Structure 1
Amino acid sequence: MSFRELRPWQHDHTFGQDARRPGESRTMLVIALTALMMVVEIGAGLAYGSMALLADGLHMASHAIALSIAAFAYVYARRHAADERFSFGTGKVNALAGFAGAVLLAVFALMMAWESVARILSPVGIAFNQAIGVAIAGLLVNGLSVVLLGHHHGEHDDEDEEDRHHHHDHNLRSAYLHVLADALTSVLAIFALLAGKYLGLFWMDPAMGVVGALLVARWSIGLLRATAEVLLDRQAPPHLTDSIRTAITQDADTEVADLHVWSVGPGIYSAILSVVTATPEPPEHYKRLLPEHERLVHVTVEVHGREHDVSART
């Protein structure tokens, strides 16, 4: 057959990745806000001699880089969605960017812990009034960023933890955790600065840094685990694989001998299944049995007859 004659049996592999994702525009806006506040905090830290503000500004710089990775991933995935070099589209670019963001979160946590311990051993003077004012401004900016990126963060509250890992936009989650870490840093900085100014508890500043580092490290580990599962093609959550098995075995004397379901993008899955039955049907028959509510975008069915060596692929 010619290529034209084969067209009815062919399809693209973009799976919706060529569309602009909701998180892309919000990420771009948050990058601008983060970069602006980064410049303000670094400038204020240098002007007022405040290591706390300078450190927070440098932290925001690292997060601006991480957010830029997230933005690049959105654009790259969209522009290369139809590139035939990607067997199942560019959906995993999302998870790869999320993984990179999680690594940066881990580095950020180590930097926070290292700097905090250094301040405990060698305390530095802080210009409290100016530092508190800029820290409050930073909190307002970070709070706005959290709201922007967290708009769809709770859409799957009715799902269990494993389902959320598989349905989440990991790229957006990475960006969300970065700005949440910035907001947490600002809150802890304000608390520590107020304690130092009014109660003389100068050790609170580095102590809160250690607490923040531990929380950020915990977020990083969770995101690393979730994105690594996608990148390593971990089997889809049980509710999805069970629904596929149930749908296929509704035919009498039909069993699923082998089943592989993995994520190829946020909330998008591909599947390969081997069916064994006494009354073989064409692969399209079994595809029609699959649950329509699940986002199965690329399904391959292999059919084996119990009594005869019958197999078909599509």
Structure 2
Amino acid sequence: MKEKITGQRFLAVTLLNVLITVVEIIGGLISGSLALLSDAFHNMGDSFSIILGYFAQQIGGKPENRKSTYGYRRAEILSALTNSLLLLIIAIFLIGEAIQRLGHPQHINGRIMLIVAVVGLVANFASAALLHAGSHDSLNVKATYLHVLSDALSSVAVIIGGIILTYVNIPWLDPVLTIGVAIYIAYEALPIINQTIRILMQSSPDLDYEAIENDLKQIDGIDAVHHVHAWMIDEHHIIFSAHLNCDDLRLSQVEKIYAQVEKVLHQKYGICHITLQAECSRGRNEEMFNTPVDEKNMIDDHD
């Protein structure tokens, strides 16, 4: 069952991130640490991400209506894509700034850097704990959760750097840590970007279509399956449509076949919305993913 993150949790995480941002900006300016300032800007982006994620979840929970017959679940997918793209932009910006800093190293106050990073780590782990429950069930919450988790990891890196710089002056360490954190941020964001774009482009979900065809042909009365379409509303809801070549049956008999098909597709393949069209001979020799000849002719006529 999909667990919904409450508004109180989103608010608590937002306030924590605003607090971290203010503390790290002050600490970064005083200590001269780019890694600390980059973490602060990352947290600032997190605050936006969390607010966006909350409103997307509220919109996505609205029921289907005449204007949106599939509901508003795509709002969470759009939010996940926006948040992940923001992560990627932040990562690219941090790498650019770190490379410039490598050419002009500055003295870093390791003790201040360490203290502020510890505060950031505690707050980030608290935020991640609040969001963890819903991160497995929603790409939107997962994108927000990864924002916070990547901040926690960057705080760990800054803590290590702060400990070292407290005792040893290594000018290149701070920008190198920044680059490492940025690469991790991009690594976590790219899979979500890929998945959300696939959903928005209505790419086919990962189903065994040959097995589906074989299972449907095992049902009495079905001879062939063609004109198959499958896509996703979000990461949980698969839509499926197909034309079935059946014996010349009564409508009441066809409805029984539909019930068996829906049971197989729902229970074995997790498909939630199914549209079927029974045909006797039309399209019998078509492949599963071919457009029927009559529809091709209609498309050509319009062209």
TM more than 0.5: yes
Per the alignment, residue 269 of structure 1 pairs with 238
How many angstroms does 1:244 deviate by?
Answer: 4.1
Alignment partner of 1:249 is 2:227: no
After superposition, give the CA deviation of every residue in 1:189-241 in whole Å (9 maximum; x if it has no partner): 111222222232231111111112122112222111010011111112124x4
- Residue 177 of structure 2: which of 208, 217, 221 is its match? 208
Contact map agreement 1:91 1:266 (CA 8 A) in 2: no
TM-score by length of 2: 0.81
Per the alignment, residue 218 of structure 1 pairs with 187
In structure 1, distance between residues paired with 2:179 and 2:185: 10
In structure 1, distance between residues paired with 2:206 and 2:196: 14
Contact map agreement 1:174 1:223 (CA 8 A) in 2: yes
Amino acid at match of 2:216: I
How many angstroms does 1:141 deviate by?
Answer: 1.3
Per the alignment, residue 54 of structure 1 pairs with 37
Identity of aligned residues (%): 23
How many angstroms does 1:178 deviate by?
Answer: 0.7
SS in 2 for 1:296: coil
In structure 1, distance between residues paired with 2:283 and 2:270: 33
- Residue 86 of structure 1: which of 68, 93, 105 is its match? 68
Amino acid at match of 1:45: G
Provide structure 1 residue ranges, at least 5 long, that are not aligned to the other structure: 1-15, 155-167, 310-314
In structure 2, distance between residues paired with 1:101 and 1:58: 14
- Residue 104 of structure 2: which of 112, 122, 143 is its match? 122
How many angstroms does 1:37 deviate by?
Answer: 1.5
Amino acid at match of 1:286: Y
SS in 1 for 2:202: coil
- Residue 289 of structure 1: which of 246, 250, 261 is its match? 261
> Does the C-alpha gap of structure 1 residues 34 and 143 become closer, same or farther in structure 2, counting only changes over 3 Å?
same
In structure 2, distance between residues paired with 1:308 and 1:49: 71
> Does the C-alpha gap of structure 1 residues 219 and 49 become closer, same or farther in structure 2, counting only changes over 3 Å?
closer
Per the alignment, residue 279 of structure 2 pairs with 304
- Residue 259 of structure 1: which of 208, 220, 228 is its match? 228
In structure 2, distance between residues paired with 1:135 and 1:128: 10
Amino acid at match of 1:127: N
In structure 2, distance between residues paired with 1:99 and 1:221: 10
Per the alignment, residue 113 of structure 2 pairs with 131
How many angstroms does 1:49 deviate by?
Answer: 5.3
Contact map agreement 1:27 1:175 (CA 8 A) in 2: no
Amino acid at match of 1:140: V
> Does the C-alpha gap of structure 1 residues 118 and 308 become closer, same or farther in structure 2, counting only changes over 3 Å?
closer
Provide structure 2 residue ranges, at least 5 long, that are not aligned to the other structure: 285-303
Alignment partner of 1:40 is 2:40: no
Contact map agreement 1:142 1:182 (CA 8 A) in 2: yes
Contact map agreement 1:248 1:286 (CA 8 A) in 2: no
> Does the C-alpha gap of structure 1 residues 272 and 123 become closer, same or farther in structure 2, counting only changes over 3 Å?
same
SS in 1 for 2:239: strand
In structure 2, distance between residues paired with 1:307 and 1:60: 59
- Residue 197 of structure 1: which of 136, 152, 166 is its match? 166
Contact map agreement 1:261 1:269 (CA 8 A) in 2: yes
How many angstroms does 1:138 deviate by?
Answer: 0.4
How many angstroms does 1:39 deviate by?
Answer: 2.1
TM-score by length of 1: 0.78
> Does the C-alpha gap of structure 1 residues 295 and 86 become closer, same or farther in structure 2, counting only changes over 3 Å?
farther
- Residue 104 of structure 1: which of 65, 86, 93 is its match? 86
Contact map agreement 2:124 2:148 (CA 8 A) in 1: yes
In structure 2, distance between residues paired with 1:50 and 1:228: 36
> Does the C-alpha gap of structure 1 residues 23 and 242 become closer, same or farther in structure 2, counting only changes over 3 Å?
farther
Amino acid at match of 1:112: L
> Does the C-alpha gap of structure 1 residues 199 and 218 become closer, same or farther in structure 2, counting only changes over 3 Å?
same
